[in-house]
Amino acid sequence: MTDDINSNNSNNDSENKSNPVTITFPKTLSKLISKIEEKSGLSWPLFVPASTIVLRTIFTLPLMIWQRKRLVRQQQLSTIIKATRPVLKLRLAAQSQTAGNASSLTADQITLLSIKETRKRQKKLFKENGVEMWKNTILPLVQVPLWISYSLGLRSLDDKILQQTASTSIFDNDLVINFADYPFLLPGILGTLALWNIEYNAKIYGLRQNSNAVNASNMVRAMGSIVTCLRFGAISMMCFSVQQPPLLVLYWITSQGYSAFMNWVLNKFWPYEKSI
């Protein structure tokens, strides 16, 4: 009997040790967010956008500027490398003719070899200038965990806070918004901003090309498919946000708006137009 009790206690202890990792992390974030909100003196509908802007400015804005400068430099170097591709084709064709019929290369083989050599030279040139392609993953590796963590923290707030902010005053009763009366207001704004970001970035990075054209390359078709998936993702996110607390949707809206505004500003200072 005592052995069964001890075994049950040990099982409960092991469950308690494993569960807190998944349970306490969002709760810890929510408590931290609540304490900061209390010290700030701002109402929740003002605190969430303000804290979002502060977090994005501290953690992601320097990386956004760094990435934009790197993309512009990569574009400049790629233009130089692409200009050498016709020369490489001519050299390969000349080498093939001098080697004789036994080792002659077809036009497709010459094109493939020239592309491989171009990519090899581009990789080497990027490395010499400190603009390697793998560095383009640093921004999403920071931005995505930040977005998920803050979303979990807001989602784990006390139900009283979430219920109060569903119908709350923003400026000391001067402006009262009852989100329950407008269930599609915040999701509509979120979906509009998300789609605007996708279309704007697709235009800037050369992804919005005619992927259905007969002469479209595999790269253009792949990029077109990615943009289409992102559009469906934005619509799905808008539908999903209808069932989420207004504070969480307000955070998503602020984050999307911040990205849209900063992308527009960065493109003014460091213009980037890419064609595939």
Question: Which segments in the chain show pLDDT lower than 70?
Answer: 1-23, 99-105, 163-181, 206-220, 273-276
Domain assignment present for residue 15? The answer is no
Domain assignment present for residue 90? The answer is no
Instruction: Output the DSSP codes for 98-121.
Output: HH-STT---HHHHHHHHHHHHHHH
Task: Give the single-character DSSP code of 143.
Answer: H
Buried b (16+ CB within 10 A) or exposed e, 169-207: eeeeeeeebebeeeeeebbebbbebbbbbbbbbbebbeb
Q: Is 84 in a helix, a strand, or coil?
A: coil
User: What angle separates helix 2-40 from helix 138-155, to the nearest 10 degrees?
Assistant: 100
Domain assignment present for residue 121? The answer is no
pTM of the model: 0.77
Residue 210's pLDDT is 46
- Whole domain around residue 258: which residue ranges? 43-81+132-269
Residue 107's pLDDT is 73
Q: Is 2 in a helix, a strand, or coil?
A: helix
Domain assignment present for residue 107? The answer is no
Say how many domains are in the chain: 1
Residue 70's pLDDT is 92
d(CA 237, CA 82): 39
- For the record, the structure tokens of 135 come out as 């560095």
Geometric angle at alpha carbon 274, from 271 and 276, rounded to 5°? 180
Helices vs. strands in the chain: H and E counts, helices first: 10, 2
- pLDDT tens-digit map of 169-205: 444 444 455 666 677 888 999 999 999 999 888 887 7
> If you search the block for the tokens 């799905």, which residue do you land on?
236
Domain assignment present for residue 152? The answer is yes
Domain assignment present for residue 205? The answer is yes
Domain assignment present for residue 28? The answer is no
Residue 18's pLDDT is 47
Domain assignment present for residue 13? The answer is no
